[in-house]
Chains A and B, each alone.
Chain A
Amino acid sequence: MTLLNIAEPGMSTAPHQHRRAIGIDLGTTNSLVASIRNGNNMVLPDAEGRMLLPSVVHYQSAQPARVGHTALAQAQADPANTIISVKRFMGRNLRDIAHAATLPYAFVDTPGMVSVNTAAGEKSPVEVSADILKSLRERAEESLGGELLGAVITVPAYFDDAQRQATRDAAQLAGLQVLRLLNEPTAAAIAYGLDNASEGVYAVYDLGGGTFDVSILRMQQGVFEVLATAGDSALGGDDFDRCVVDWMLQQTQLHGLNAQDSRQLLSLARQAKESLSDHTDVMITTTLSGANQFSLTLQQTEFWQITQSLVQKTLAPTRRALRDSGLSVTDVKGVVLVGGATRMPHVRQAVAEFFGQAPLTNLDPDQVVALGAAIQANALAGNHSEDQVLLLDVIPLSLGIETMGGLVEKIIPRNSTIPVARAQEFTTFKDGQTAMSIHAVQGERELVSDCRSLAHFSLKGIPAMVAGAARIRVTFQVDADGLLSVSARELSTGVETSVTVKPAYGLSDDAITRMLQDSQAYASEDAEARALRELQIDAQRLLDATHSALTEDGETLLEAIERKQIDNAITELQQCLQATDRPALRAASENLNRATTEFAARRMNRNILSALSGRKLADVGT
């Protein structure tokens, strides 16, 4: 028997035509499902009243997969078949997964995306995520009393096209219709009703179990635009637990604990951490194996002290996101806290101090993303008369092309909102060059070798001209789905060629974070490397020009002694060319320049003479 819910005025459905829609926060550590019932937005609990579903799946042979708490319980006993944090593998190749060797899984390097060999066969991250989603779907169907119209599923703002597509595929496999994928920070902002608030810039600070993300959003006319994202994919509440364990070990002078004891300490640490959000001290008492007993008291102030460095670590990405968005803290109108770890008072305090204002905290930080997704789902299902919230995305890393000497010319800077198109003109490097190889790359570094290669293609049919005369316009275009197409067009003839690539395909957020960090850490090395390459290119161009001049006029215009001087300068420059000694290279280039100045002048005079000879002054004057 169907139980009825209260609808918005005029929005009653016909019998059997329910518009049940759900919002799903498919998290790295935990997942949640929320829905609006009787005008009430609520996270749907399981039969035991638990809101969070651990994002863990345990596979057994010839038995259905276990999902959630029961799967998590198997993590110690059967690590190889218990898939934890599968979100980190979504849309990834084996080579993209950092520390694959340290993980307990039998990875299979399947094309397109990595898989894991389990007792139930080969499982791709899409299938594992589908099992999690299926469990949430069943919970929602039981709670809402029937079939669902669809779901809004949240993804990190930095998720690329491959990861978004993998999430969609997982939903489809789980029998869910995806109404929309929604960025997590945007979902949080919607949960706080910021889409109905006044226009402005908002920051979303998301400190989860194992990941930290910070996003800067701009809300304009009910539309959220992600201005910038930054984060640390290996920083979360779990690190605070480990700090407390280290403190316990230091206090008790215990060493070499077995796995069971370590696990016990970790769970005690977590309880202590949670308790210290509301209490000024906590007593930690336990008996470990071998009758090892201890009883410790941890003060809130001491806990803050030992974890202060972790809190500080979140502020660097926060600063970076703000800088990338081109804004300062005074531009930020509101700050939203997401993730269970933001319950800790010293985290809240650090955020408040950084932004100079108290963050929004009245919603449960574990639930805020799912609640925002539910609001969006409800609107998309047609239960809500107000206009739906639109969304814009950004590209996570700069896109550019390789120029001479392995240098990168950035065409679209990172954090540009998509869709976007940018064009830049390039020219030929050598006389008579009729083809140009276009190499599209992604990354923040100055040298191609430090960036990620996306695509190679060539533009052929450039008319033969002197170096630098051809004009080739290279256009980069990223559509709303994050698909990049690159085209090159020679402007005088109109010959054109193009290629379509998926920009961030197979790039993990770790890799993205690392590439961003490297670009800052190596800024001075990169500048040095670029300067050297540029000198080398200039030197090579000078050598090429000298060679061709010598071939043409070396015999007729030069004395033997002059020729020898030039040859010596050439040899000297060639020797410096591959070295990294910039002053020497510059000196050798200048030397060759000097040695050829007279020669160049004679060629110029001779050419002018031959051009003028036999012509009347009147012809030349015009």
Chain B
Amino acid sequence: MKQYSRKGQIGLIETIMVVIVIIILMVLAVVFYFKFQKSDIESKTQDLADQRADVLLSYVSRMPELQCSFRNKEERCLDSLKIIAFNEKVNKEDYYDVFGFRTFRIEIIEAPFEIKKGDCIKMFKVDYGNYPMNCNEFIIYQNPKPNFKSKSIFSVPISVYYPVNGKYFIGKLIGENYE
């Protein structure tokens, strides 16, 4: 009888151990599944943020406030004088709903003469005589997120027209997304 009792107890303990191990395995499987799902959702969120940034870049390149026009016909470029006027006259809070915490700027890549590094909007005011040779960057909208951890950068080629001399330069329209 004593032997049967012991065997029974051992059998019970074994069963309990097996059940505990199965429960642990199931909990681990659920944890892994949710971690995988979280990673997938984060990746999709990032993809959506990237797509939104691409859409916004296209929007900026077609904004009537910045786009070139000739006799009411839109052209495939951004007007540098319009960019300067936009920066001076427009309150960035008016565009917060559309752009949020982002920065949009243009960097000139190719010009028919050598140009220096500099902010074109500032140089237009302080050193107009040497403009546009004294600058290579236009900041269209700048609103960085406070205490941002990282930023992703997107860019597309763009043509920039300079009414001061009738020339077109090749630039990079850059969007910065703050995370």
Q: Do A and B bind each other?
A: no
